Structure 1
Amino acid sequence: MSTRADDLVDRRRLRRKLTFWRAAALLVLVLAIAATARWLFGDTLAAGPHIAQVRIEGTILEDRELLDLIKDLQETDAVEGVIVTVDSPGGTTAGGEAIFDALRRLAAEKPVVAQVGTLAASAGYMVASAADFIVARQTSIVGSIGVIIQYPEVTELLDKLGIKVEEVKSSPLKAEPSPFNPTTEEERQMLASMISDSYDWFVDLVSERRKLPREDVLALADGSIFTGRQALERKLVDALGGEREAQAWLTEQGLSGDLEVVEWKPEGSGGSFLLPGAAIRWIAAVLGLPQEGAFLNRLGMEHIFLDGLVSLWQPEAGFQE
């Protein structure tokens, strides 16, 4: 009798173990399917029509993943409006131009509002001006309209180290300015011409987007920065506030006030070889784990490499978030 009773106990234990492992396997399968769906369809799995929010933060470059994301927002029927949250000191002028153009194409089909966080300066303000309405905090930093180019000159250091750089080139202005020789007046004039042309383009862009006379923009485009309140007085922004005020403007454009705000992120933001960023963010949310890993931004390393003309406020220093 005792042997039969032991057999029954063992069978019950075995059944409990099998039930546990079957449930665990089913859970893993469900998570894998969900992660794959997130990978394939990204944030378009949001429940029904919604307002998309995209964050443009840190140094602005010609970011292909961000440009692809903006295009996806334009082509996704479930997205009825877009909030562009800007928190940037600027970046390359060409990068700002690329994002500006992408946002204008998006705004041609859907209402787009910009919400300034801590900072929207230089190319950051260029990006914000692509929206049809700009909201800023009272103490946000706005402006720094202008263009700059900087380069090192290390000839004295090379002399002290006993290093001599020789070169053969097709013409005097080829590969100039160079850190290996003092800049000539002809080279300075070349750079000044480039800066002036890009500056005029930037001023005209702000004049057109903000519906301000060019003379008024020129008075503001001396590199000055303004608080959100000062920017409102100068018509560089349209209202004071944050995401709530941005969403209210979208409601005034005919969108339902009940629409959910869903944050969209580029596919490559986070992630690994095995799982894309969208899948990892979703799994992290399910497990209650941190989703952000902006390690380079925290170290300030996103400011190291900037090629070409730069529209950047205080390029040699970071800023506090």
Structure 2
Amino acid sequence: MAMDVDAMIDRRRLRRKLTFWRVATFIVIAAALIGGIAYIAGASNLSKRKAHIARIPIEGMILENRKTLEMLEKIGKSDAVKGVIVSINSPGGSTTGGEAIYGALRKLSEKKPLVTEMRTIGTSAGYLIAMSADHIVARYNTITGSIGVLFQFGNIERLLDTVGVSMEAVKSAPLKAEPDFYSPTTPEARAMLQAMVTDSYNWFVEILADRRNLAPNKARELADGRVLLGNRALQEKLVDAIGGEEKAVEWLETEKGVAKDLPIVTWTSKESIEELPFAARISREVGKGLGTAIVEPLNDAKGLISRGLMLDGLVSVWQAPVAADNKP
């Protein structure tokens, strides 16, 4: 009987110890998480409050993004931003997306010294955005150019015929909803599309001639859709210098009087952790850790279909050629 009592006492002691260590472990982890979040938020806020050069990444498919435009406006109002580097690595995207960012950067350049740096690729709408600055830097092997406008559409009429499906339409006018995917494109519809593409193209060429100080005929010659490496682009006056970010910084310092050795801070349009309420920061980080980022904003969520595959309207994008299989 005495042994049973001793065993019961030992079990109670062990249970108390386990409870203590579980609570202690939870408190330590929670404190570390809260401290880490507070440190990250504080460091990020501090870096943007001190004098710095703002780096704006323009990467991947270019679309019109309201948050990006709001961020550019915020940079223009920040006294801590002494210069801006637009860092481009993009094949282009929607023409209106490029137009919106180009316009916002031109306004920003009236308030802050601004330079663009093209990395692996800066073509089409990507190059349009690069022209927002008075100085463009590119690597020797940066792919650039591809100046022009594209409107693509598919037609699956033969496929529908094969599976025995026909499409009918009643229209208010012949050009309504043209082109469609189930019937041949009429000459009138093709002329309408060509006029639209030509109008957008002329707008692009006018910007090229104005921003790069080119004669209209020379600008149109270069705007034939060709792609060039950075060194050739330098010869054609599409870029101003060969190099990387350090070359862009050098121009800001020597030509625009930006103080030397300022830190470079990356600004992004994605929701940053320091902008969230304190409780939301904890929930977001814990959620990410568990793989259940419930508070992740919709525009940051991963989807089954890439946004790059959902471009509407006119596009200014360079499409890398795909090698076809050799057929006899």
Same fold (TM over 0.5): yes
Distance in 2, Cα, partners of 1:64 & 1:102: 11
The 5 A counterparts of 1:166-185 are 166-185=168-187
Query: For the residues of structure 2 that align with 1:42 and 1:170, how far apart are their CA atoms?
Result: 56
Change beyond 3 A, Cα 1:43–1:305: farther
In the alignment, what sits opposite 1:255?
Answer: 258
- Quote the residue 1:31 is aligned against: 36
Name the CA distance, whole Å, in 1 between partners of 2:247 and 2:317. 27
Give the partner amino acid of 2:102: F
Contact 2:52 2:262 in 1 (8 A): yes
Aligned match of 2:61: 59
Taking only aligned residues, the RMSD between alpha carbons, in angstroms, comes to: 3.4
Which residue in 2 is equivalent to 1:309?
314
Could you tell me which residue of structure 2 aligns to residue 290 of structure 1?
A: none
Q: Is the 8 A contact 1:44 1:78 kept in 2?
A: no
* 1:115-194 aligned within 5 A: 115-194=117-196
CA distance in 1, matches of 2:305, 2:118: 20
3-state secondary structure, aligned to 1:118: strand
Aligned partners of 2:161, 2:305: CA distance in 1, in Å? 31
Whether contact under 8 Å (2:135, 2:240) holds in the other structure is yes
Q: CA deviation at 1:63?
A: 1.5
2:147–2:222 CA contact under 8 A, matched in 1: yes
Amino acid at match of 1:96: G
Q: How far, CA to CA, are the matches of 2:62 and 2:314 in structure 1? A: 12
Structure 1: unaligned runs, 5 residues or longer: 1-12, 285-293
| CA drift at 1:72 | 1.5
1:94-124 alpha-carbon deviations (Å, 9 max, x no partner): 1100000010010010011100001111111
Q: CA deviation at 1:151?
A: 0.2
**Partner deviation per Cα, 1:171-205 (whole Å, 9 max, x = no partner):** 00001001111000001110010011000000001
- Give per-residue Cα distances to partners, 1:17-48, cap 9 Å, x unaligned: 7998776655444334446x56xx96564351
Q: Give the deviation of 1:77 after TM superposition.
A: 1.2
- Answer yes or no: is the 8 Å Cα contact 1:142–1:227 preserved in 2: yes
Structure 2 counterpart of 1:129, one-letter code: M
Unaligned runs of 5+ in 2: 1-16, 290-299, 323-328
Contact residue 296 and residue 302 of structure 1 kept, 8 A: no
Check whether the contact 1:58–1:302 (CA below 8 A) recurs between aligned residues.
no
- Cα separation, partners in 2 of 1:304 and 1:22, compared to 1, 3 Å: closer
Deviation string 1:194-245 (CA, Å, 9 cap, x unpaired) is 0110000000011111111111101101001111010000100010000000
Pairs within 5 Å for 1:31-110: 31-34=36-39, 37=41, 45-46=47-48, 48-110=50-112
Q: Distance in 2 between matches of 1:67 and 1:316?
A: 32
Q: 1:212 to 1:78 in 2, by over 3 A?
A: same
Distance (Å, rounded) in 2 between the aligned partners of 1:133 and 1:26: 48
Rounded to whole Å, the distance in 1 between the matches of 2:185 and 2:26 is 72
SS at match of 1:55: strand
Offset, 1:54: 1.0
Cα pair 1:44 1:76 within 8 Å, conserved? no
- The answer to whether the 8 Å contact 2:47/2:265 transfers is no
Question: Residues 112-153 of structure 1: CA distance to partner in whole angstroms, max 9, x if unpaired?
Answer: 110000111111100111111100000101101101101001
Aligned pair partner of 2:205 in 203, 208, 211:
203
Three-state SS of the structure 2 residue aligned to 1:255 is coil
Confirm or deny: 8 A CA contact 1:303 1:315 kept in the other structure: no
Structure 1 residues 162, 34: CA separation in 2 closer, same or farther (over 3 Å shift)?
Answer: same
Structure 2 letter corresponding to 1:66 = T
Which region of structure 1 is more displaced relative to structure 2, 137-146 or 45-54? 45-54
